[in-house]
Amino acid sequence: MKKRANERKPLVNHIFTADPSAHVFDGKIYIYPSHDVAHDCPDDDDGDQYIMEDYHVLSMDNLDSICVDNGLALHQDDIPWVKNQMWAPDAVEVNGKYYLVFPAKDHDGIFRIGVAVADTPVGPFQPQADYIQGSYSIDPCVLKDQDGKIYCYYGGLWGGQLEMWQSGKFDPDARRPEGDDPAIGPMVAEFAETMDKFVTEPKHIQILDENGEPLKAGDEDRRYFEDPWTYKYNGKYYFSYSTGTTHYICYAEGDNPYGPFTYKGRIMEPVLGWTTHHSVVCIDGEWYLFYHDCELSGGITHERCVKYTKLNISEDGTIETIHPYEEE
């Protein structure tokens, strides 16, 4: 199939964008990225170089059209509980309202998940007064299932603080699992229809190997690191994610939105830059992967750009691995 003119190219180049969550609302494509800020801060494992402070919503009439930046949608100064670092968001439509679900550090330096609401997909968004109670860590992904239930998947290791909650309380000195320790999975909880609280206790998701055993912390080619995304295909739930240190986007399959999910393979090989982050969306009956890399900045890890490419999914759900810099 011939590659589209916009495919695998930065969708906007006047600002740096990353972590794209793509959706189709009323026949139009909307992309909810984080907004990288150019600066000279050195990189570290806690992600202090990612100092994003606001969100812009991108939109496209179709995959061949110009990508439009709809301007400032939400800024950290408008949110009472937020101190800094508004990282990867997602969005969902519920009862005619549009909800932006986002992570940020509170005034104690702890990542929480907040929600803001608007009457249109592009905002501006009005934030709720406080973060979702019981939430922590980063990278929320929201799945509105066919029965109307709304699930929030979230969590990231290292700077995302997920492993700091192993005891049930925040412990910045918590030991990181390694080697044959069970890998720490992401979290899932069900949102209230009002999108202002969780109605189920957050629980860890298990990702299993081909023998039904939980993946190990040392299995860095397959274990979860960050960037959860969940979608349905032929009645199955598919959970995809970033492995972090090895820079793969992988996927797993399950029968239940709470998991467990069985590892199936890689969606994408590594991109230019340290992080990799994605979303999967069906557009006009075909599937696409939205992702980021550092092409626009020549490899600066905190100056990224959003792209998309075709995703080939077979009838049984198997995904063809994407090699992002090979010509099709």
pLDDT tens for 85-125 read: 999 999 999 999 999 999 999 999 999 999 999 999 999 99
Look at the block and give the residue holding tokens 């589209």.
Answer: 4
Report yes or no on 9 lying in a domain: no
Read off the tokens for 108.
Answer: 């104690």
Question: Does 290 have pLDDT greater than 60?
Answer: yes
Is the pTM of the predicted complex or chain greater than 0.85? yes
Burial of 22 from C-beta contacts in 10 A (0-12 / 13-18 / 19+): buried
Give the span between the Cα atoms of 68 and 186, in whole angstroms. Answer: 32
Q: Where residue 257 sits, what CATH number does that domain have?
A: 2.115.10.20
Report yes or no on 298 lying in a domain: yes
Report yes or no on 323 lying in a domain: no
pLDDT for the residue numbered 271: 98
Report yes or no on 101 lying in a domain: yes
The residues annotated with a catalytic role in the active site are: 19, 226
Question: Does 191 have pLDDT greater than 90?
Answer: yes
Q: Work out how many domains the chain is built from and give that number.
A: 1
Give the span between the Cα atoms of 21 and 154, in whole angstroms. Answer: 13
**Percent of the chain at pLDDT above 90?**
93
Report yes or no on 5 lying in a domain: no
Report yes or no on 39 lying in a domain: yes
Contact 39, 51 (CB under 8 A): yes
Q: Which domain holds residue 142?
A: 16-311
Question: Does 3 have pLDDT greater than 90?
Answer: no
223-251 pLDDT tens trace: 999 999 999 999 999 999 999 999 999 99
Residue 83: C-alpha distances to residues 44, 73, 76, 169, 197 (Å): 19, 18, 7, 20, 21
Report yes or no on 322 lying in a domain: no
pLDDT for the residue numbered 44: 67
Report yes or no on 6 lying in a domain: no
**Nearest 5 degrees, angle CA 211-CA 214-CA 215?**
100
